[in-house]
Structure 1
Amino acid sequence: MYNRFCFENKISTEMFYKSETVIFDSFNLLMYNIFEDSIEFYMLVSIYYDDPDFSKIRRNSQDNLKNINKVFDIYDVYKEMSKYINLKPNESALKEMDLLERFIYINNEVRYIINETIPDSVKKVIINDTIYPDSWLLKLIKELGITSSNLEILNLNTQKVSASTTVNKKSTIYICRKENREIGTGLFGESCICYDDSSELMYTMPIMNQSNNGMSPLIGSAYNGIIKRKQRLEENNNNNLGYNYGYYYGGMYCIGYASWIFDICKFRNIDKVLFLARDGYSLIEVFKSLYKGFPVEYAMWSRSVAARSCAHLFPFYFISNILYSRRKKNFVTTVYDMLKYLGIEEIEEYKLHKYSLNYNMKIGTQTDNINNFDRFIKFAIDNIDEIISGLSNERQAAKSYFKNLIGEYRNIAIVDTGYSGSNLMVLKHAIENEWVPGCKVLPLMAGIMPRFMQACPPHLMNNDISTYMFSPNNNTNLMYDISKYKFSPLFFELFSASPDPSIVKLDKDKNGSIIFEHGEVEYNNLSVNKWIHEGILDFTKDYEEMFEGLEFMRKIPGSDVGQIAKSALDDSDLLKATFANYHNYINLGMPTLIKNNYSITDHIR
């Protein structure tokens, strides 16, 4: 378990839990400041007044009082403001406090800070650098969880306090920022606990500032803090690029996506979640570590299996994925091997002659055989019924497999990364209408991109499919920003880090057991995948230890994950170095006479 504060030594730690007095160097160290700049809050207060210069007047009035009087409070500020704007000082001061109170109450992290920094032993809290009155601060702290009936609040900014009469040096803890104080020195020489940027997560600035559409302040600071801790506090920092890719970029994605899945499942009364291969390989591990006991399963599925096992339901999807999409890839095979792949190798050869084809003819994407392949596609379309019949065994294998996975559950979710959603919608239709009638299926995706729009917007608008990060329905600007990167379709999918090759075919043996036929083993990728997987799991462990019991810290917006992705996608040199020897294996089980893979760095601009 990490300390959430940078305790300098064992004595400071022990004193912290025995202290009678806690002194906060800044009001913002006690109350998490949900606004990056005070002007943002003043703009909210100004809704009560018809004056465009309210924020400027509010700040200038406080500065005026600082110059003429060291002791003043919020009521004095509004009295000063009444010289320049028509308002009632006392009533206006109360309005500001009421508004601030509302924002503090809805931020659970404030409750956490209050309960962490004010142990039961504390009888007195001294706060510096705030103009809010003691009575309001005391009410606020007690309503946030402190139950001590004799707790006393002293505000160093609004009243003159004598050090000799206020604190017992031996039982006082002073909390400040490290850059403001020397270690061990406080306002009155008391023991000092300092916040360090690498371990004090609640107050570090976001990884990117808000003016550049950066991450949300709380999640951004948490992410920044953990990454800084990893970089600065570990003596033997892991310099493996694959590990860092998983830790820096995959951890937040998997935690946020898993938490979103869990919330959706609760809202939609989902009984079980199927994480589809291979994108679900790391994700299911993270989900199980966060939500122990929730029924989940890793399901073998792919575009190839979706097209083949559901060819009778979606023949054009089959033709597109198994035949036409191959024209874009580098492969050569024979007519007979393709017939065998389609389950119709026993077809009479004379039926091929009509298309100027024969068993031994080469077909593929090379110049001298592409015309042969086009004629074979026409033959396949004309004989689609025979192909569907030839794939019946795979259809029955898929039905048995998913029927067994689903069991008695009748309200399930299926999870994938993206980006078209087509294989999810195919699986949903097959389960609901043929394989397990009466079972309702909710497809969940990380994102949908414009150039992969096979999952059409009506599915999104009708809640047939839901997305975490972006789609034509949510975070649309982020969707278009991410889609500009050539590498973007691979970026999140690489977080799957699966050691197994893609599944290309399902079958049954003589005993009725399911047989999974995989594609080519991706030897070049195994080491990188292993490191990515380890990095993701380590980040999840560190994040959970840091924010143990704080469920709201798992609620990482998809937009924040997208900002992390954009920062990585902008660094093409880093991505090229990380995946220098990584290959994308595009063959989905189709027989081929040549190597059918390419370096994914070809996709990095």
Structure 2
Amino acid sequence: MAERESNMGLTTLRMNAYGTLVNRVPEIREKYHKMRDDQTSSWQRPLAWFYLGVLNLGWLLGWRPEGAAAGRGMGRDTRTAKRLSAKGGVYGGGPAESVGSVRETPERLAQRLSAYDVISFDVFDTLLFRPFASPEDLFYIVGQKLDYLDFRRIRMEAERCARQECLEKKGHREASLSDIYDWLEREAGIPKEEGMRVEQETELELCFANPYMLQVCDRMKQSGKRIIALSDMYLPSESIRRMLEKCGFGQIRDCHVSCEYGCSKSDGSLYGKLMQKLGTGRYVHVGDNRISDGENARKAGWDSISCTNVNAAGKPFRAMEMSRITGSVYRGLVNARLHNGLQSYDRDYECGFVYGGIFALGYCQFIHDYAQGHGIERILFLARDGDILSQVYRLLYPKEEEAGRIRYVLWSRLAAVKLAAPYYKYDYFRRFLFHKVNQGFTLEQIFAAMELNDLLDGLTGAAGPGGSTGERLMHAGLSLKKEDTLTDRNVHTVKDYLNGRWEQVLAHYEDQLEEGRRYYEKALDGASRAAVVDIGWAGSGAMALDVLVNRVWGLDCEIIGLLAGTNTRHNAEPDMSEAQLAGGKLISYLFSQSHNRDLWEQHDPAKGDNVAMERLLSSPLPGFRGFFGPDWEARALTPRTDREGKQAERIQQGILDFVRLYQESGMSRYVPSISGRDAAAPAYLWMEARRGQTAGEDIQCVLA
């Protein structure tokens, strides 16, 4: 009895110690298990315990493991943003990210390689890429196909165990795929033949060529040299040959794999075996691993040429606070494009590709899902944020375009405030006047923005005698001039003046109101339910359009507003749209008070966050001022040719290229929708890195 109680006490003590040292901090637990699970011998355990002690000591001293959660002090992405904005960083005066990975031209490398008799290429991360930041993340998709929970972790455990069994039985650790699935069938119940088939099919389906190496190999076709592939891999050589052929490397028929030789590049012995098999000559090996592809090749008498591991090169720049699969796919695709060595890109292109692409892609998926599930007959993308969104949507869903359901329509906060003034009178004064108080805008600028220039003289007294408002103000001791700025002292006087001439104010917009009716009647084309897409933030654009369509123009079409994000706690009116959001009149993708509240708490218009997000959806088209002038539509659809217009074109090109790459990767079949939280992570990293760099806004924007 005493012995049993002693054992129970010891067990309790061990569990308490484990809970304190391992489970207390998730990041420590993850790193400890990554090491401990590989330590299978009893003599290795003290090393794992020592490592655990170091992790806990470091945590107490303030050090945080890579990838520590954002909620615990400074998050990983915040640290990345600070590094990018530091002196010499991408946003601290340094070069664009891709510049550092550009290498010699494919022609030059092919010329160098032609001097050798046997040219060997590493396969994975050199010739072939996977659409993941980590190769083992492909196992998520295999597990999805097999309907097997936690398959990625179990598959990694199976490989470790199969290698250990191989070492014990054959004296080496080069387990084959068959060995791995022997273990999985025995220990996990996964049918061996099905599992092997699914994994090889998935590898073949998702792999894609390194464009740099594809050009190198294309230029060597006529060289007459022997080109081989050499890989430390569990897949059979025939499977790898099929992958190479699919990706355009069909000229490489000679494929050598470690599991079929019982030795590897990582221990250096595979190089010697191949030299014995292939005969004498000058050998060179090209690969991304510094040790196995570089040092070990040279020790064996080969020359070696290193290439960049794209994921290692891109890791310091990437957003990490994303879900595991979507985050890995995003990072893998971005890294493959920017760091393959073929070319560099300008910063505007990278802005679109790296930060805007996944945002636009996820938002358009969200729009499509909503439209399909709610009987939406027409999707109206509002200018100008809707320019690139409509392009992405058409790229993703061409049948929607063929069916005529998509429209890019001219609209703006300025147009909305003017045309909806009869119904949203309070909003008219709030946006045109009270949002501009004490910001340095002159009365002349304010009245010009409202298109009421002819009414300004009556306020300032320039209209002459006759009991004008200007004269009454002078008698009251308050004299206003056109060049006076709008302040908290005179704003109510200006408002009262306009209120007293309200019918005159509305008369200025009557022609535009009628022109707008004709325009939207054609755009809606008899639809009874339409979604209006905007970036945000209060939803005023969609709500104003709803009022006009149904209360003013009588077009009888239900309008639903789809927003990227809403007003946040930092807005002067954080609850402005809550009733409409609660009732489903407005729907938000990224955040609102009811979902992704961490973003809702974080997003701050005063720090330039609204402006930054709108920059990600930049358009070369000019701002829409309203339905006036003989060529109002042509003006609004003619791209600018100035510097900002060119920058917007490059941002849009980056976004479209990311979306195309995502489509080509085949991952949309397995990750059909990107959550708002995932889509936001790269954008917020970029915004954090650019704090204080956002420019002021034009008065005509009439901020929401």
- After superposition, residues 465-484 of structure 1 pair within 5 angstroms as 465-483=586-604
Letter in 2 for 1:539: G
- After superposition, residues 130-141 of structure 1 pair within 5 angstroms as none
Determine which of 198, 206, 220 is the counterpart of 1:110. Answer: 206
**Separation in 2 of the partners of 1:497 and 1:48?**
43
Residues 486, 211 of structure 1: CA spacing in aligned structure 2 closer, same or farther, 3 A cutoff?
A: closer
Matched, 1:427 2:545: yes
**Separation in 2 of the partners of 1:467 and 1:368?**
34
Name structure 1 gaps, 5 residues minimum. Answer: 1-5, 14-20, 82-87, 118-124, 146-150, 519-524, 590-596, 598-605
Q: Is contact 1:327-1:365 (8 Å) kept?
A: no
Letter in 2 for 1:480: E
Determine which of 485, 493, 499 is the counterpart of 2:614. Answer: 493
Equivalent in the alignment of 2:71: none
Matched, 1:249 2:351: yes
Equivalent in the alignment of 1:584: 697
**Separation in 2 of the partners of 1:255 and 1:318?**
35
Q: Is contact 1:470-1:478 (8 Å) kept?
A: yes
Letter in 2 for 1:584: E
Q: Is contact 1:279-1:417 (8 Å) kept?
A: yes
How far 1:404 sits from its partner (Å)?
Answer: 3.3
Residue 216 of structure 1 aligns to a residue in which SS? helix
Residues 465, 11 of structure 1: CA spacing in aligned structure 2 closer, same or farther, 3 A cutoff?
A: farther
Equivalent in the alignment of 2:410: 300
Residue 627 of structure 2 aligns to a residue in which SS? strand
- After superposition, residues 193-212 of structure 1 pair within 5 angstroms as 196-197=308-309, 205=315, 207-208=317-318, 210=320
Equivalent in the alignment of 2:28: none
Letter in 2 for 1:92: A
Equivalent in the alignment of 2:649: 534
Letter in 2 for 1:251: F
Determine which of 201, 217, 224 is the counterpart of 2:335. Answer: 224
How far 1:205 sits from its partner (Å)?
Answer: 4.7
- After superposition, residues 264-413 of structure 1 pair within 5 angstroms as 264=366, 266-267=368-369, 268-269=371-372, 270=376, 272-284=378-390, 293=401, 295=404, 296-333=406-443, 341=452, 352=469, 356=473, 361-362=479-480, 370-381=488-499, 384=502, 387-388=505-506, 391-413=509-531
How far 1:550 sits from its partner (Å)?
Answer: 4.3
Residues 273, 213 of structure 1: CA spacing in aligned structure 2 closer, same or farther, 3 A cutoff?
A: closer
Q: Deviations over 1:327-379 (max 9, x none)?
A: 24323337996897198789997695998589995268968975343123245
Q: Deviations over 1:497-545 (max 9, x none)?
A: 4566544443477xxx868999xxxxxx974413322322442565467
Q: Is contact 2:353-2:655 (8 Å) kept?
A: yes
- After superposition, residues 26-45 of structure 1 pair within 5 angstroms as none
Q: Is contact 1:247-1:538 (8 Å) kept?
A: yes
- What's the TM-score once normalised by structure 1's chain length? 0.63
Equivalent in the alignment of 1:122: none
Count of matched residue positions in the alignment of Structure 1 and Structure 2: 537
Equivalent in the alignment of 2:188: 92
Name structure 2 gaps, 5 residues minimum. Answer: 1-105, 115-119, 215-227, 248-252, 264-272
Residues 274, 455 of structure 1: CA spacing in aligned structure 2 closer, same or farther, 3 A cutoff?
A: farther
Residues 365, 287 of structure 1: CA spacing in aligned structure 2 closer, same or farther, 3 A cutoff?
A: farther
Q: Is contact 2:434-2:491 (8 Å) kept?
A: no
**Separation in 2 of the partners of 1:429 and 1:563?**
34
Determine which of 293, 302, 305 is the counterpart of 1:181. Answer: 293
Equivalent in the alignment of 1:456: 577
Q: Is contact 2:237-2:255 (8 Å) kept?
A: yes
**Separation in 1 of the partners of 2:257 and 2:199?**
21
**Separation in 2 of the partners of 1:310 and 1:107?**
56
Equivalent in the alignment of 2:259: 157
Residues 74, 332 of structure 1: CA spacing in aligned structure 2 closer, same or farther, 3 A cutoff?
A: closer
Residues 567, 34 of structure 1: CA spacing in aligned structure 2 closer, same or farther, 3 A cutoff?
A: closer
Q: Which is worse superposed, 304-313 or 451-460?
A: 451-460
Residue 563 of structure 2 aligns to a residue in which SS? strand
Q: Is contact 1:355-1:379 (8 Å) kept?
A: no
Residues 502, 92 of structure 1: CA spacing in aligned structure 2 closer, same or farther, 3 A cutoff?
A: closer
- After superposition, residues 430-449 of structure 1 pair within 5 angstroms as 430-435=548-553, 437-449=555-567
Q: Is contact 2:528-2:558 (8 Å) kept?
A: yes
Q: Is contact 1:450-1:480 (8 Å) kept?
A: yes
Residues 31, 494 of structure 1: CA spacing in aligned structure 2 closer, same or farther, 3 A cutoff?
A: closer
Q: Deviations over 1:35-71 (max 9, x none)?
A: 6778998xx99x9999xx9999878756754654316
**Separation in 2 of the partners of 1:466 and 1:419?**
11
How far 1:426 sits from its partner (Å)?
Answer: 1.4
Q: Deviations over 1:470-510 (max 9, x none)?
A: 3335443234334387021111223454566544443477x
How far 1:233 sits from its partner (Å)?
Answer: 3.7
Q: Deviations over 1:557-579 (max 9, x none)?
A: 65455333333333348x74xx7
How far 1:307 sits from its partner (Å)?
Answer: 1.4
Residues 487, 326 of structure 1: CA spacing in aligned structure 2 closer, same or farther, 3 A cutoff?
A: closer
Q: Is contact 2:381-2:532 (8 Å) kept?
A: yes
Residues 35, 457 of structure 1: CA spacing in aligned structure 2 closer, same or farther, 3 A cutoff?
A: farther
- Give RMSD over aligned pairs: 6.5
Q: In proportion to residue count, which structure has more strand?
A: 1
Q: Is contact 2:363-2:676 (8 Å) kept?
A: no
Residue 565 of structure 1 aligns to a residue in which SS? helix
**Separation in 1 of the partners of 2:122 and 2:353?**
36
Q: Is contact 2:285-2:305 (8 Å) kept?
A: yes
- After superposition, residues 254-265 of structure 1 pair within 5 angstroms as 254-260=356-362, 262-264=364-366
How far 1:415 sits from its partner (Å)?
Answer: 2.8
**Separation in 1 of the partners of 2:237 and 2:635?**
71
Q: Which is worse superposed, 272-281 or 327-336?
A: 327-336
Residues 355, 262 of structure 1: CA spacing in aligned structure 2 closer, same or farther, 3 A cutoff?
A: same
Q: Is contact 1:306-1:427 (8 Å) kept?
A: yes
- After superposition, residues 56-75 of structure 1 pair within 5 angstroms as 61=161, 64-65=164-165, 68=168, 69-70=171-172, 72=175
**Separation in 2 of the partners of 1:48 and 1:500?**
49
